[in-house]
Every structure is written in structure tokens, then in C-alpha cells.
Amino acid sequence: MKSRPPPPGKLQLERALSRLGAATRSQARRLIGEGRVRVNGVTETCPEAAINPRMDRLELDGRLLRAPEFALIACNKPRGVLTTRSDPRGRATIFDVLENLPGGVQAVGRLDQASTGLLLLTTHTRLAAWLTDPVHAIPREYIVTCRGELNEEGAAAMMAGVEEGGEWLSAVHVERLKTSRRESHARVVLNEGKNREIRRIFLALGHEVTRLKRIRFGGVTLGDLEPGRWRVIPREDIPALFPGAETVLEGE
């Protein structure tokens, strides 16, 4: 039986611990079950208890956990690292690679392990959800290298759309940058982030992607940010970078 979702403005306790960067969801369930978590001075053993991390006093092993200050960060994800908080197989994650990150940040969407480039991180759960909601159609721009010659017909087919794995996949824009029989380079724009969408579109048309680098998300560009480095995006810049996103920040 599925648990009821928490009321507006609240999170399940296990999720709150994860959002605060104190533990993964599975670790949080264990910590709560062991009686190591207190909410407003009372030990809470139910992982699904609804709390407000900004209003309720949350303690782990007697240590006060504070809701993080607002942060929106742009980083350059290196190849070979994951965007998850932790990996059971011990593989490196973006949180292992980036140094001195603010507490409580989470990835806004994902880049797969082999992909590189611009990844956003934020402490604001609702902003992350807004940025990744397909209804807002926020453009993501990529530089793609693939095997074989990508001709005009292939680029047009990608924009027209292909069916793959029971899903309809399409690019908003495909610009061929350099082509040869051996290899092609293209600039591709999507307006949503389905799982491995670009790789699947190219492969459906006979082109294996060998390199994939995101260079823009909405109004934020990668610029000259080096792999493994990050920069802060000022809160006051958000309305210009993501028109409409300021609505989720109002009153906070």
C-alpha cells in the first residue's frame, strides 16, 4: 500500500534528511528506525512522518540540521562521474568531484556518466522541479560527436521526431557543424530532458554518439568553466535566465 503524500509545504522525514545532505534515502530510513532522529525534541521513528525542514527543529544524533541557504550553481561535469548523491557500487559522483559545495544542493536533472558539460545544482527543491518540468520547455543545448556522416536528411529526421523504446523523441534544432564519412559534429537543442534522449535519437538513425557535451541550460551557458569547477548564479539573475521561475521563489 502506497503512503499518502505529505501536505503542501512538507516533506517525508526520510526525504528531508536527504535534501539536507545528511544521508541518502536508504541511509535515512535506517537512521530513523534506529531512533537517532528527533523532530522538535521528540524521537521520530517513522520515515514517512511529514515535516517542514525550514520550520521544524530536526536533529541527527543530537546535531541540529539546518535548512540550507538558497543556492543555484552551475558546474562543468567531467566525463565518467555520476550525478547521483552516492553510488552503491562506489563509483565517483559529481559530489565527490566538486569541492566546497554549499550544503544541501541537489542536481537539477541529470547528465549520464559518459556525458560532460553544464549541470545545475540547487538547494531549492521546488525550483529544481520547475526547471525540469517539460511544460516549461526550457532549452538545453549540446555539442554532439557521432560516428558516420550526418546528412541534411538525418538532421531533418531528428527534428521531425523518431519513435524509440515506446517514446516519441525529437530535437528542437539540429545544426550540422562538421561532417565526414568517419565522424560528424552537430549542435543540438532539446526542450526537455528524457533519459539519454540525444543518444537514442542519433542511434535510431544509425549514428552512435561518442561525445556529448551540454553547453547551455535556459539562459545559463557553460562558458569557460573548467571541468570539475563551479560558479554561483546570483538569485537576482534568475528571472532573466529562466523567465517565470521567480514565481517559485516568491515569499521566501
60-109 per-position pLDDT tens digit: 999 988 777 889 999 999 999 999 888 889 899 999 999 888 878 889 99
- The reply to whether 125 falls in a domain is yes
Same domain (yes/no): 227, 211:
no
Q: 134-157: per-residue pLDDT in tens?
A: 999 999 999 999 999 999 999 999
What range does the domain containing 30 cover?
A: 11-65
Is 112 designated active site? yes
pLDDT tops 50 at residue 206: yes
Taking the whole predicted model, whether its pTM rises above 0.95 is answered as: no
Cβ neighbours of 60 (radius 10 Å): 17
Same domain, 209 and 231: no
Res 59: pLDDT: 93
Q: Taking 60 as the threshold, does the pLDDT of residue 20 lie above it?
A: yes
Q: What's the confidence (pLDDT) of residue 77?
A: 97
**Residue 4 pLDDT grade (very low, low, confident, very high; cuts 50, 70, 90):** low
- Which of 141, 106, 138 lies closest to 122, judged by CA? 106
Q: Looking at the domain assignment, is residue 171 inside a domain?
A: yes
Percent of the chain past pLDDT 90, that is, above it, reads 71
* pLDDT exceeds 50 at position 1: no
DSSP 204: H
Single out the catalytic residue among 112, 133, 224, 237: 112
Do residues 109 and 75 touch, judged by C-beta distance below 8 A? no
The percentage of the chain sitting over the pLDDT mark of 70, rounded to a whole number, equals: 96
Number of domains in the chain: 3
Cβ contact 71:102 at 8 Å: yes
